[in-house]
Amino acid sequence: MSLPPGIMVPGGSGCARAAEQMRRRGLDMGDWGGAATQRVPMAEALGFAMARRAAGILDRHRDVLARAAPGAMPDPAEFAADDAIFTAVLDAANECLGRFDTRPAGDRWCDALLQLLQLAQSAREAG
């Protein structure tokens, strides 16, 4: 099965950064049976990578739409792929937030988006 254009496969920049952070912490990505203390940094790295990816999509769309000539439409296939990724990340963030916020998912999606953007900022600052 081939991926649509614009889809990053594991091992791309976000995954590579997460894997490098894990290696620096002495964690083995293949050790899924490890202690919970090893899974927490993995979840942190994954969350940072997802947040960076979502923020990158928002930045790219903003830049493309700001430069677009009147009547010119950006590549619909690229936007569709980005939308699928962004939706999946936002849904995951909303589900995660649901562990701490008992409101229905439809009522907390905006807060999930803000949390995702704040996490992306933290990820940029963390390097």
Q: What is the mean pLDDT of residues 2-28?
A: 49
More confident residue, 7 or 114: 114
**If you average pLDDT over residues 81-107, what whole number do you get?**
91
104 has pLDDT over 90: yes
If one compares 68 and 108, the residue with the highest pLDDT of the two is 108
Average pLDDT, the chain: 76
pLDDT band at 85 (very low <50, low <70, confident <90, very high): very high
How confident is the model over 98-119, as a mean pLDDT?
A: 91
Predicted confidence band of residue 27 (pLDDT cuts 50, 70, 90): low
Q: How many residues does the chain have?
A: 127
pLDDT of 6 strictly over 90: no
Q: Of 100 and 34, which is predicted with more confidence?
A: 100
